[in-house]
Chain A
Amino acid sequence: MAGNKIIVWFRRDLRIEDNPALSAAARDGRVLPVFIWCPKEEGQFYPGRVSRWWLKHSLLHLSQSLKSLGSQLVLIKADSTLAALLACIESVGATRVVFNHLYDPVSLVRDHHIKEQLVEVGISVQSYNADLLYEPWEVYNEKGLAFTMFDAYWNKCMHMQMEPVSHAPVWRLEQLPTSGTVENCSIEDLGLEDETERSSNALLGRGWSPGWGHADKALTEFIEHHLVTYAENRLKVGGNSTSLLSPYLHFGEVSVRKVFQSTRLKQILWAKEGNSIGEESASLFLRAIGLREYSRYLCFNFPFTHEKSLLSNLKYFPWIPDQTSFKAWRQGRTGYPLVDAGMRELWATGWIHNRIRVIVSSFAVKFLLLPWKWGMKYFWDTLLDADLESDILGWQYISGSLPDGHELERMDYPEVQGYNFDPEGEYVRQWLPELTRMPTEWIHHPWDAPASVLKASGVELGLNYPKPIIDVDAARARLTEAIFKMWELEAAARAFNSNYTDEVVGDNSAGDENSNIPKVVLKDMAPSFTISSNDQRVPTSQNSKGGLVCKKRPKEIAVSESRPVHEKLQDKPGSSRRGEEVCSTAESSAAKRQTISRDSFSVPQSCSSSSSLTSKEQEIRHFNSKQKFQEEVDIKHGTREDGI
Chain B
Amino acid sequence: LARPQPDNACSGRERLKRHRGEVAGRVPIPDLWGQEIFLKDWMDYSAFDAFLAPKGVASAREVLMAEGRR
Q: Which residues of A contact B (CB under 8 A)?
A: 43-45, 53, 57, 101, 105-106, 108-109, 111-113, 115, 127, 129, 135, 137-138, 193, 196, 198, 200-210, 214, 217-218, 221-222, 226, 239-240, 244, 300, 303-306, 309-310, 315, 319, 321, 323, 326-327, 330-332, 343-345, 347-349, 351, 371, 373-374, 377-378, 381, 430-433, 521, 523
Contacts and interface: CB of A to CB of B under 8 A. Distances in A.
Contacts of B3: 57, 205
Interface string B40-52: 1011010111011
B69 A137 contact: yes
Nearest to B42: A373
Contacts of B35: 377, 381
Contacts of B23: 203, 206, 348-349
A233 B3 CA distance: 31
B9 interface: no
B63 A112 contact: yes
Given A108-B64, A109-B60, A112-B59, A210 B4 contact: yes
Contacts of A111: 60, 64
A369 to B, nearest CB: 12
A300 B15 CA distance: 36
A222 B13 CA distance: 9
Which 9 residue pairs of A and B lie closest in terms of their CB atoms, listed nearest first? A207-B19, A112-B60, A433-B25, A304-B52, A309-B49, A44-B51, A373-B42, A201-B2, A108-B60
B39 A323 contact: yes
A4 to B, nearest CB: 21
A591 B65 CA distance: 33
Given A202-B2, A204-B2, A137 B65 contact: yes
B2 A53 contact: yes
B58 to A, nearest CB: 7
A315 B17 contact: no
A307 B27 CA distance: 44
A218 B43 CA distance: 39
B11 A306 contact: no
Nearest to B51: A44
Nearest to A204: B2
Contacts of A193: 2
Interface residues of B, number: 55
Contact of A374 (B29, B42, B62, B67): B42
B18 to A, nearest CB: 8
Contact of A430 (B25, B55, B61): B25
Contacts of B43: 319, 321, 371, 373
Nearest to B41: A373
Contacts of B61: 108, 300, 303
Nearest to A392: B52
Nearest to B54: A109
12 contacts: A45-B51, A105-B52, A203-B27, A206-B15, A207-B19, A240-B13, A300-B61, A303-B58, A305-B53, A330-B29, A332-B29, A349-B23
B25 A431 contact: yes
A201 B4 CA distance: 10
Contacts of A208: 4, 12, 15-16
Given A330-B33, A347-B29, A349-B19, A101 B64 contact: yes
Contacts of B67: 127
A221 B52 contact: no
Interface in B17-38: 17, 19-25, 27, 29-31, 33-36, 38
Contacts of A115: 63
A105 B53 contact: yes
A520 B3 CA distance: 45
Contact of B27 (A109, A326, A344): A344
Contacts of A374: 39, 42
Contacts of B29: 330-332, 343-344, 347
B19 to A, nearest CB: 4
Given A53-B2, A321-B39, A371-B43, A109 B22 contact: no
> Which of B12, B27, B39 counts the most A-chain CB atoms under 10 A from its CB?
B12
Given A239-B17, A303-B57, A373-B43, 6 more contacts: A106-B51, A305-B58, A348-B23, A377-B35, A430-B21, A430-B24
Nearest to A220: B11
Nearest to A215: B12
A186 to B, nearest CB: 14
A240 B27 CA distance: 20
Contact of B68 (A137, A201, A217, A326): A137
Contacts of B11: 217-218, 221
A257 B1 CA distance: 34
A300 B69 CA distance: 15
A221 B2 contact: no
A127 B63 CA distance: 12
A240 B16 CA distance: 8
A240 B13 CA distance: 7
B42 to A, nearest CB: 4
A348 B27 contact: yes
A200 B2 CA distance: 9
Nearest to B20: A349
A218 B16 CA distance: 12
A209 B7 CA distance: 9
Contacts of A221: 11-13
B5 A44 contact: no
B48 A373 contact: yes
Contacts of B53: 105, 303-306, 309
Nearest to A48: B35
B56 A113 contact: yes
A371 B25 contact: no
Contacts of A327: 31, 33
A448 to B, nearest CB: 23
Contacts of A349: 16, 19-20, 23
